[in-house]
Amino acid sequence: GQQVMQIPQYQHVQEGEDFTTYCNSSTTLSNIQWYKQRPGGHPVFLIQLVKSGEVKKQKRLTFQFGEAKKNSSLHITATQTTDVGTYFCAGTEYRQAGTALIFGKGTTLSVSS
Amino acid sequence: EPEVTQTPSHQVTQMGQEVILRCVPISNHLYFYWYRQILGQKVEFLVSFYNNEISEKSEIFDDQFSVERPDGSNFTLKIRSTKLEDSAMYFCASSRDYRNEQFFGPGTRLTVL
């Protein structure tokens, strides 16, 4: 079945440093979604990428979807302590009416000030 | 802003007992989902539901599990005979369409003793 790999599993940075997490799928994706989960919280939707090669920005966050629609990345510029949490990518397999979101294991970001 | 709600927030049960987890999806959403997250692990897809029937289910969603939309607002997950390994956080989610972003509820923590 479809698998989504995400690296690194953990990342610690000093406040102000940049952070990147990478996501790779074993199959072509219809779309990819990124979620943030704070400790004890639930996944909160950040963004959805649909088109091959798509790049989207949200303030300090930049999201990319690969040309082959099998990989994606999230880059945070100048991290802040509020960025702490686990970032998950989640993909929907490229097939008709695919509904299941298959999550990666997540990258847990810690930020020290 | 509309949100997905879930009750109860925490459920403790004895092994072999039946539990029902309840969710109220966002009102104009048509697709409903259940996911689970074992402590410290990734979010796993269980089942999706559309037009009063199961749209897709994972291998985890065996005969012990069932879903229902008993009225116009609630969406439930029933586990018939709970096992120790069913202990997890169960998240309900909903989306307008299967291609759209999924919005997660706060989760129900299920503890099976």
Output the tens digit of pLDDT for each of chain B's 113 residues: 789 999 999 999 999 999 999 999 999 999 999 999 999 889 999 999 999 999 999 999 999 999 999 887 899 999 999 999 999 999 999 999 888 889 999 999 999 99
Q: Rounded mean pLDDT of A62-90?
A: 97
Cβ contacts (< 8 Å) between A33 and chain B: which residues? 101-102
Interchain contact, A103 vs B43, CB within 8 Å:
yes
Average pLDDT over residues A74-97: 91
Cβ of B100 and A48 within 8 Å? yes
Q: Is the pLDDT of residue A97 over 70?
A: no
Whether A37 and A48 have beta carbons less than 8 Å apart is answered as: no
Residue-wise pLDDT for A26-70, tens only, equals 999 999 999 999 988 999 999 999 999 999 999 999 999 999 999
B106 touches chain A (CB under 8 A): yes
Structure tokens at A111: 């930020």
DSSP per-residue letters across A3-39: -EEEE-SEEEEETT--EEEEEEESS-EEEEEEEEE-T
CB distance A101–B102 less than 8 Å?
Answer: yes
